Chain A
Amino acid sequence: MAAGASTMPASHGAPVDVPQPPKELERIPLVANQRSFGWISNRIASLCEDRAPIWWWVLFVPSVLMLGMLMFMISYQVSTGVGVWGNMRPVMWAWDIVNFVWWIGIGHAGTLISAILFLLRQRWRTGVNRAAEAMTIFAVMCAGIYPALHVGRAWYDWWLFPIPNSNSIWPQFRSPLMWDVFAVSTYFTVSVLFWYMGLIPDLAVMRDRAKTRARQFLYGLFALGWTGSNRHWSNYEKAYLILAGLSTPLVLSVHSIVSLDFSVSQLPGWHTTIFPPYFVAGAVFSGFGMVLSLLIPLRSMFKLQDLITMRHIDVMCKVTLATGSIVGYSYLMEFLIAWYSGNPNERFHFINRALGPYQWAWFFMIGCNALVPQVFWFKKVRQNLLLIFIVSILVNVGMWFERFVIIVISLYRDFLPSSWSYYHPTWVDICTYIGTFGLFFTCFLLFIRFLPMIAISEVKGVTPQSDPHHPLGGAKVLEVEHD
């Protein structure tokens, strides 16, 4: 199959001469090795059809155990009280909200890749969008646990929704927490819809390939009677475009609104107008970090190097570099604003961030977020999977510390020094956080086992064969004769 760019594959019969473009104009193909449609379908669908590899079980069992731990931690916290966490006064929000914002941030890459890059016609998105979207959904699920459970009386969470009631009591619409409820639930709903929309043609593929009744039935149920007719495709493309249009502002709004949780307060370190863009950049940054962390090992374990190529990884590294630099710039800006504002509390806060007792957290943040990603300026680094993997992990660590810095460091020393106190997490904080990884990885591992983790139909769309104007593409008469 390893034919050169200038000849057709042997199955296409007589070779066609394709004029070579000049070297500098040569495009790196999005699917390497000129894989055929059949190969793509086989490769991706077989991941869900073959026996689960051993490494899958090795990852899945601990994930489920961790999920069990999460369940235990949640029941312990709800039955006993928020006090099982380390939260205290003045640090009334700590790991709960840190982890919420962290997971929500991770949940940004998926929709960004699938919606914004779709609208911008970035065709490379097809290789990674499905997995990234799934990651988004699971990350938002992990995030959603925290605001629901961090409250003192979780059984009254529904009071945050504007549900008509006999006392005519409404939520307080001035509160950013209220906006959060809308923002996150909308984002989650649209993300799920968008993800599911994209899955329909592939579910039909799975249905058609299914060998057992159960698989036929279930994939068939969710494929919604997809036949691949022109009318289906036409409706599908329109709906996909509309959903992409709907999701695009959501990508920007969710984290903007999450950042308003802080900006709307008057705490030095929270009360700042820079937060919405800074949070969105940070979210995209951490989201791409997480996509890289997930796809680099998956790609080699599932042997998907032809579909998730080095070019994909290169592009994602560049996005990481760009957003990381925005985040670094924001860190600098915060200091500038604090100095320029002349507000003594603000100035104290930022010096205290860098020099106070929580200095170590601040250095972690600066190091991992602003400095480490700068290595992506070098092409050699962008080609070294191990280095990229390490950097992507550090990005996620750094972004966790960013939220820690913003939330805990702003809270623990505010206006009246008499209330200052140092925050320590408890084992429940830590186990709950680890537990959310259990939830995330359980869902993600189930996803890669049962759903096509790469959009089969979309990847086919970016192969040369699917382009009627491409010498390799179009419905050739020859093909009909031969196949």
Chain B
Amino acid sequence: MKSAPHVEPSNGRAYWRGLDELAGTPEFRQFVEREFPEGASEWADPVSRRQFVRLMSASFLLAGLGVAGSGCRRPVERIEPFGQMPENYVHGVPEMYATAMPTRTGAIPVVARSNDGRPTKVEGNALFPGSNGGTDRYAQASVLDLYDPDRARHFKQGQFVTTPAAAMDFLAGLARQSAARSGQGLCFLSEASTSPSRRRLQEVVSAKYPNARWFSYDPLGLEVHRRAASQAFGQSVTPLWEFDKADVVLALDCDFLGSEDDVHNHIRRFAEKRQIETPAGSLNRLYTVEGVMSLTGFNADHRLRVPSSAVVEVAKALLAEIQKGSPSTVNSGTPQLPAEVDPRWITECAKDLAANRGRSLVVAGQRQPLAVHLLAHAMNAALGNLGKTVSFIPAPQSGEGTLEQLAGALNGGQVETLVILHANPVYNAPADLDWAKVQRKAHTVVRLGYYEDETSEFCDWHLPATHYLESWGDAQTTDGTWVPIQPLIAPLFGGWTELEVLARLAAAPVTAPYEIVRETFAGLKGIQDVEAAWRKFLHDGFLAGSASKAIEVKLDANVVGQALNGPSAGAPSRDSLEVVFQRDYSVDDGRYNNNGWLQEMPDPVTKLTWDNAVLLSHKTARRLGVSNLDVVEVKLGGRSVRGPVWVQPGQADYTVALALGYGKPKPGRVGYQTGFDVYPLRTSQAPSIASGATLTKTAATYPLSCTQHHWSMEGRPIVREVNLDQYREHPEFAKEEMEQEEHLPVESPLYPNPFNELKKHGIHQWGMAIDLNRCVGCSACMMACQSENNVPIVGKDQVARSREMHWLRIDRYYSGPPNQSGSFTYKADEDQQYEPWLANPQVVTQPMLCQHCEAAPCENVCPVNATSHDAEGLNVMTYNRCVGTRYCSNNCPYKVRRFNFFDYNKRPLNHLYLGPLAKRPPEEIELAKMVKNPQVTVRMRGVMEKCTYCLQRIEQAKIAQKVKARDSGDVVVPEGTFTTACAQACPAGAIVFGNLKDPNSRVSKLKSLDRNYPVLQTLLTKPRTTYLAKVRNPNPAMPDYDKAGPFTFQNYEKKMGNPFIEHPVEGRKGAE
């Protein structure tokens, strides 16, 4: 569209618009010719225009890709305010509710924290009589189960999802039908429970349907303690061990510090007696007889290694020895001691027990047969311990049948309807019952279950169960105290409680669990003002004074004598191995199989994660020609299982230890492909100890993820320990003699602290003391830390690459006699399994976390100031600033820093290597988010993290104190207002945290003790976390007593020389 040439007519006066026109310049001509001025032309060239559009769209596409890839964008965060503010809600302030976690034989009174309506952390109820606020690892990890994406979410009829209403109709129909037949053909299978409401409802059901039958099943058989006591004393009682009153303890294959129930109470009581503050103080002494290394074996002063089946013989011999001289009351028969047992061990141990009449305690373990329990009772009776170190409280008589009886009833066609409450027999019933087949013989099977698991597959109805943090209930602790279970959140997926199901089945007028529990409570004797008492009950989390009164018991010697008449098992041999089924430290009997925290928690003994293994002794493995990771087939009575070998120091020869709870046929996504199932080997005749097994090696190997590869301390003074008599002679052994100063004339710290001056003015100086004498290695602190600090799990593969994230770990070292354990130092870690010193080692455990060095090596080397010191002595970590050079970890001598190699929170753990291509399902992420503590940053990939001494708790306490102080200026946080998550969870009270500025604080006092020492003192890092050296209390009369001190000390001596002889304190003091 070009304009026509502009031509002025030539006649008339010539007008010009500008000098340019007058001059007729080419510029003007061009201007006239153009439609638009220069630079504003229309882009008429079609090719170029297309090119332009193409380029623009390409650049938009690229920009879009950039945004979609979101490499350069922070995630969008929305703040959504409340439309209506809930009552009493203060934003950001967590609420605490007293509740209880039910166990099979009791309950753990806990205080659960709710952040904005989400339960995020469980802590022990310190108000509970006798409690120190400690819990066990299961309780700490239980909160994760609440948000398990694999929990049963639907009411199901067969394979089809149905509605709660339909299930209600079904139960109502079942109730009508049962009423018509007065319960004929109605059977219940439940797990053991101490709930008074359930007991009451059971009575209601039984009253309504008199022909209904009750059965109960626990694969571990924890009720053996009650059964044995009831038999021994002729009345239904359950024993209550009081380790805090016992000076000498004999554990007969009893892992009371690890895998028994109520372990947090045992640890607390035991640790009371393990405290020694001055050389004049005293310690208890622990004798252990066991075949498989356990936490109790770790802490034993004398450990007798015999096959688990021979424990009964040792017990017999001990009883005979104890009764010697006194008119014999129990005929203990003729013990057939294993050849390797030194008879002096028996006599001296018995002497020691007898010397402490009324102050000793003999306990028998859950997996031992009844006879051993009866022998333990007989010994306690002979030692005058009854009512002193072990008391007996009345136990409700249970009329429930066993699983075997139920199988009989099913086979007999007597079961019309089977109601299974929680139990998972298809997975964990004894193999000889062939449960999956037997269960089908019932016409209708109704299941209330937390997971849609193996048993649900064979059920006609599946009802989802609630978590204890989302349901009303009640329970009784082991001492009989009533505790409430109150919900912190409405059932996430609308499940039902046991109480609800029973009430509906009984067609009770009240079916709401709250009403049921309150009704049970109101029915208690001696309650006047029910409402006030109920409120106090819920507030305190227990009913004061409701503990059962101990009753006096008298041993029925005949019963014990009769029980001992059974044939004794022959010694296990190469061709007839003994199999011991263990309760797993992580997954229990399989119920925590889908709990990532527990799966990744290193087994306190083996340090294996995510798997169980075929545990063998060093000698057994050598004789059978197998070594770690070899897959072997264990055959027992025509059945077999396959699993990888792991050489376990301290295990009895020719025994095979197998942990229960792994290899579920129908696992969740966390428990998928973890370990192997050993239930197929278990029979109802030999549910925990079986003999006659054989083991054959297969060609395969299987990787195991172990968090600690090296088993020895290499004679380094990391855990410092001596015997009690050495301690009395050299009380300052840990401080002076073993500090290596004379080997290393280091004068000042390599990395001086820039805050040294400021610290003098700070009103708080935080510090921690860990008493190695009290720590038993139970790992509750690890779980507490994981829960409090949003520590991610990383999966088996990452653990195998040593990338686990635990801020707090428990180091476990084995030690043997120095003449045997010197040669392997420079070998590969895997070769340690071939070392003979492993047969019967001594063990030490040491919680290891950020030491908060005052002269911190990590701070100096960070190029971006991401880790630095604060004026209160904390080594703080700024996640936002961290770029992830990892130099701090390299320079950390304690190796407590953890690096996020991947986005562990954002990616599914089995697809970490796919990076951004791996997306975690949104619903899974939403659930996973809910368990996070909002006061702690969730770390992304590429940043370093570590223990902060629970900085969020410190700050919260400081703020609270400032609010309280107002103008008074009293802003010092008083002792005891708060503590770190690990210290709070520790049932032993081994971890003490507090203000070092306050000379009267517990931590200051502990740090002033003789035994206080910093690890790696010679580096002069001046850690704020210090340890109290360990003092063992072996009996000098015992055959395995070594005057030279514990093995770790002897190894130290071999490397560094005897500190007591070569470096006397006086001499060096003079030189200084």
Interface positions of A (Cβ within 8 A of B): 76, 79-84, 86-90, 92-93, 150-157, 159-160, 169-172, 174-178, 181, 261, 264-267, 271, 342-344, 348, 351-352, 355-357, 411, 413-422
Residues of chain A contacted by B798 (CB below 8 angstroms)? 83
Residues of chain B contacted by A159 (CB below 8 angstroms)? 864, 881, 883
- In the complex, the answer to whether B802 meets A92 with C-beta atoms within 8 Å is no
- In the complex, the answer to whether B890 meets A176 with C-beta atoms within 8 Å is no
Contact of B861 among A154, A176, A348, A419 (CB under 8 A): A176
Residues of chain A contacted by B708 (CB below 8 angstroms)? 418
Residues of chain A contacted by B940 (CB below 8 angstroms)? 153
- In the complex, the answer to whether A152 meets B801 with C-beta atoms within 8 Å is no
Contact of B899 among A92, A160, A343, A422 (CB under 8 A): A92
Residues of chain A contacted by B901 (CB below 8 angstroms)? 81-83, 87-88
- In the complex, the answer to whether A152 meets B802 with C-beta atoms within 8 Å is no
Residues of chain A contacted by B942 (CB below 8 angstroms)? 81-82, 151-153
* Complex interface: stretch among B121-129, B489-497, B911-919: B911-919
* Complex interface: stretch among B261-269, B660-668, B821-829: B821-829
Main secondary structure on A side of the interface with B: loop
- In the complex, the answer to whether B709 meets A92 with C-beta atoms within 8 Å is no
> Assuming A151-B883, A348-B714, is B863 touching A79 (CB within 8 A)?
no
Residues of chain A contacted by B864 (CB below 8 angstroms)? 159-160, 171-172
B933-950: which residues lie under 8 A (CB-CB) from chain A?
Answer: 940-944
Interface positions of B (Cβ within 8 A of A): 71-72, 708-710, 712-714, 716, 718, 740, 743-744, 750-751, 798, 801-803, 809, 811-813, 825-829, 846, 848, 857, 860-865, 881-887, 889-891, 893-895, 897-903, 912-916, 940-944, 1015-1016, 1019, 1055-1056
16 pairs from A and B in contact (CB 8 Å cutoff): A79-B71, A90-B895, A150-B885, A170-B865, A174-B861, A175-B860, A177-B862, A177-B887, A265-B887, A344-B740, A344-B1056, A357-B829, A416-B718, A416-B895, A420-B709, A421-B709
> Assuming A83-B901, A344-B1055, A417-B713, is B801 touching A177 (CB within 8 A)?
no
Provide the bound-state CA to CA distance between A133 and B316, in Å. Answer: 85
- In the complex, the answer to whether B801 meets A92 with C-beta atoms within 8 Å is no
Main secondary structure on B side of the interface with A: loop
Residue ID in chain B nearest A262 by CB atoms: B890
* A-B complex: 7 closest residue pairs judged by Cβ atoms: A152-B884, A152-B942, A80-B915, A83-B901, A418-B811, A92-B886, A419-B895
- In the complex, the answer to whether A418 meets B883 with C-beta atoms within 8 Å is no
Residues of chain B contacted by A177 (CB below 8 angstroms)? 861-863, 885, 887
Contact of A181 among B863, B903, B1015 (CB under 8 A): B863
Provide the bound-state CA to CA distance between A170 and B915, in Å. Answer: 31
> Assuming A175-B863, A342-B744, is B915 touching A418 (CB within 8 A)?
no
Residues of chain A contacted by B881 (CB below 8 angstroms)? 159, 169
Residues of chain A contacted by B71 (CB below 8 angstroms)? 79, 155
Provide the bound-state CA to CA distance between A172 and B744, in Å. Answer: 30
> Assuming A417-B713, A422-B709, is B883 touching A156 (CB within 8 A)?
yes
- In the complex, the answer to whether A174 meets B886 with C-beta atoms within 8 Å is no
Among B714, B801, B914, chain A packs the most CB atoms within 10 A around the CB of: B801
Residues of chain B contacted by A76 (CB below 8 angstroms)? 915
Closest chain-A Cβ to B992's Cβ sits at a distance in Å of 22
Provide the bound-state CA to CA distance between A160 and B865, in Å. Answer: 10
Contact of B863 among A178, A414, A416 (CB under 8 A): A178
Residues of chain A contacted by B743 (CB below 8 angstroms)? 342-344
> Assuming A93-B890, A174-B860, A344-B1055, is B826 touching A80 (CB within 8 A)?
no
Provide the bound-state CA to CA distance between A62 and B802, in Å. Answer: 36
Closest chain-A Cβ to B1053's Cβ sits at a distance in Å of 13
Contact of B826 among A171, A176, A352, A417 (CB under 8 A): A352
Residues of chain A contacted by B829 (CB below 8 angstroms)? 357, 420-422
What's the A-B contact tally at a CB cutoff of 8 Å?
Answer: 205
- In the complex, the answer to whether B886 meets A265 with C-beta atoms within 8 Å is no
Closest chain-A Cβ to B766's Cβ sits at a distance in Å of 23
Provide the bound-state CA to CA distance between A273 and B1018, in Å. Answer: 19
Provide the bound-state CA to CA distance between A289 and B861, in Å. Answer: 32
Given contacts A156-B883, A159-B864, 12 further A-B contacts (CB under 8 A): A80-B914, A80-B916, A81-B915, A82-B884, A151-B883, A151-B884, A152-B884, A153-B941, A266-B750, A417-B712, A418-B812, A418-B813
- In the complex, the answer to whether B714 meets A417 with C-beta atoms within 8 Å is yes
Closest chain-B Cβ to A75's Cβ sits at a distance in Å of 10
Residues of chain B contacted by A160 (CB below 8 angstroms)? 863-864, 883
Residue ID in chain A nearest B715 by CB atoms: A344
Residues of chain B contacted by A417 (CB below 8 angstroms)? 710, 712-714, 716, 718, 813
Contact of B802 among A89, A150, A154, A413 (CB under 8 A): A89
Contact of B886 among A80, A81, A93, A156 (CB under 8 A): A93
Provide the bound-state CA to CA distance between A175 and B862, in Å. Answer: 6
Residues of chain B contacted by A82 (CB below 8 angstroms)? 884, 886, 899, 901, 941-942
Residues of chain B contacted by A170 (CB below 8 angstroms)? 865
- In the complex, the answer to whether A169 meets B865 with C-beta atoms within 8 Å is yes
Provide the bound-state CA to CA distance between A348 and B716, in Å. Answer: 11
Contact of B710 among A155, A156, A265, A418 (CB under 8 A): A418
Residues of chain A contacted by B891 (CB below 8 angstroms)? 265-267
Closest chain-A Cβ to B943's Cβ sits at a distance in Å of 6
Contact of A89 among B826, B857, B889, B912 (CB under 8 A): B889
- In the complex, the answer to whether A418 meets B848 with C-beta atoms within 8 Å is yes
> Assuming A175-B887, A342-B743, is B848 touching A416 (CB within 8 A)?
yes
Provide the bound-state CA to CA distance between A420 and B832, in Å. Answer: 13
Closest chain-A Cβ to B7's Cβ sits at a distance in Å of 46
- In the complex, the answer to whether B884 meets A415 with C-beta atoms within 8 Å is no
Closest chain-B Cβ to A297's Cβ sits at a distance in Å of 38
Residues of chain A contacted by B863 (CB below 8 angstroms)? 160, 171-172, 175, 177-178, 181
Closest chain-A Cβ to B886's Cβ sits at a distance in Å of 4
Contact of B941 among A152, A348, A420 (CB under 8 A): A152
Provide the bound-state CA to CA distance between A181 and B864, in Å. Answer: 12
- In the complex, the answer to whether B803 meets A266 with C-beta atoms within 8 Å is no
Residues of chain A contacted by B801 (CB below 8 angstroms)? 83, 86, 88
Closest chain-A Cβ to B521's Cβ sits at a distance in Å of 49
Closest chain-A Cβ to B474's Cβ sits at a distance in Å of 43
Closest chain-B Cβ to A98's Cβ sits at a distance in Å of 13
Residue ID in chain A nearest B889 by CB atoms: A92
Provide the bound-state CA to CA distance between A243 and B157, in Å. Answer: 85
- In the complex, the answer to whether A343 meets B803 with C-beta atoms within 8 Å is no
- In the complex, the answer to whether B744 meets A89 with C-beta atoms within 8 Å is no
Among A81, A348, A357, chain B packs the most CB atoms within 10 A around the CB of: A81
Provide the bound-state CA to CA distance between A5 and B848, in Å. Answer: 79
Provide the bound-state CA to CA distance between A171 and B885, in Å. Answer: 13
Residues of chain A contacted by B899 (CB below 8 angstroms)? 82, 89, 92, 152
Residues of chain B contacted by A264 (CB below 8 angstroms)? 860-861
- In the complex, the answer to whether B894 meets A415 with C-beta atoms within 8 Å is yes
Provide the bound-state CA to CA distance between A174 and B890, in Å. Answer: 16
Contact of A152 among B709, B897, B900, B1055 (CB under 8 A): B900
Residues of chain A contacted by B826 (CB below 8 angstroms)? 351-352, 355-357
> Assuming A89-B895, A175-B863, A266-B893, is B943 touching A152 (CB within 8 A)?
yes
Residue ID in chain A nearest B828 by CB atoms: A357
Residues of chain A contacted by B709 (CB below 8 angstroms)? 420-422
Provide the bound-state CA to CA distance between A159 and B942, in Å. Answer: 14
Residues of chain B contacted by A88 (CB below 8 angstroms)? 801-803, 901
Provide the bound-state CA to CA distance between A116 and B46, in Å. Answer: 62
Provide the bound-state CA to CA distance between A157 and B889, in Å. Answer: 19
Residue ID in chain A nearest B803 by CB atoms: A88
Closest chain-A Cβ to B920's Cβ sits at a distance in Å of 14
Closest chain-B Cβ to A335's Cβ sits at a distance in Å of 15
Residues of chain A contacted by B941 (CB below 8 angstroms)? 81-83, 152-153
Residues of chain B contacted by A92 (CB below 8 angstroms)? 886-887, 889-890, 899
- In the complex, the answer to whether A80 meets B913 with C-beta atoms within 8 Å is yes
Closest chain-A Cβ to B460's Cβ sits at a distance in Å of 46
Provide the bound-state CA to CA distance between A88 and B802, in Å. Answer: 6
Residues of chain A contacted by B718 (CB below 8 angstroms)? 416-417
